């Protein structure tokens, strides 16, 4: 169990350090801004909509695993739903 916690802690640290989108979402959450809408629209400036959704869903999954961000009460499991 301790090994799993350590892996998650390290993964959390590396997400913030090496995945700019994860760090950006964390900052939006800390500022109480709606991260899904803002992050999705920002990604769509650089990627087609489907790729933006996949990217946001992937980073969201990583962030949840690392306890970087948690699912909101009542939120659905849709990609990018924090």
pLDDT at 64 over 70: yes
pLDDT confidence of residue 38? 67
Domain residue limits at 34 = 2-65
Structural domain includes residue 59: yes
Residue 42: exposed, middle, or buried by beta-carbon count in 10 A (0-12, 13-18, 19+)?
Answer: middle
Q: Is residue 71 part of a domain?
A: no
Q: Where are the alpha helices (DSSP H) in the chain?
A: 2-18, 20-30, 35-44, 49-65
Reported pTM: 0.72
- DSSP-assigned letter for residue 71: P
Instruction: Find the mean pLDDT for residues 11-28.
Output: 93
Q: What is the pLDDT of residue 81?
A: 47
The pLDDT assigned to 35 comes to 63
Structural domains of the chain, count = 1
Return the number of other C-beta atoms located less than 10 Å from residue 57's C-beta: 15
- Please indicate, yes or no, if residue 26 is contained in any of the structural domains: yes
pLDDT at 44 over 90: no
Task: Tell whether 77 is covered by a domain.
Answer: no
First-residue to last-residue Cα distance in the chain: 26
More confident residue, 73 or 35: 35
């Amino acid at each position: 169990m301790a090994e799993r916690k350590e892996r998650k802690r390290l993964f959390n640290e590396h997400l913030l350090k090496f995945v700019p989108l994860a760090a950006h979402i964390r900052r939006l959450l800390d500022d109480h801004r709606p991260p899904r809408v803002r992050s999705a629209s920002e990604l769509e400036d650089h990627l087609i909509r489907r790729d933006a959704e996949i990217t946001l869903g992937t980073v969201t999954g990583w962030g949840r695993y690392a306890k970087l961000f948690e699912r909101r009460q009542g939120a659905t499991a849709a990609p990018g739903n924090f």
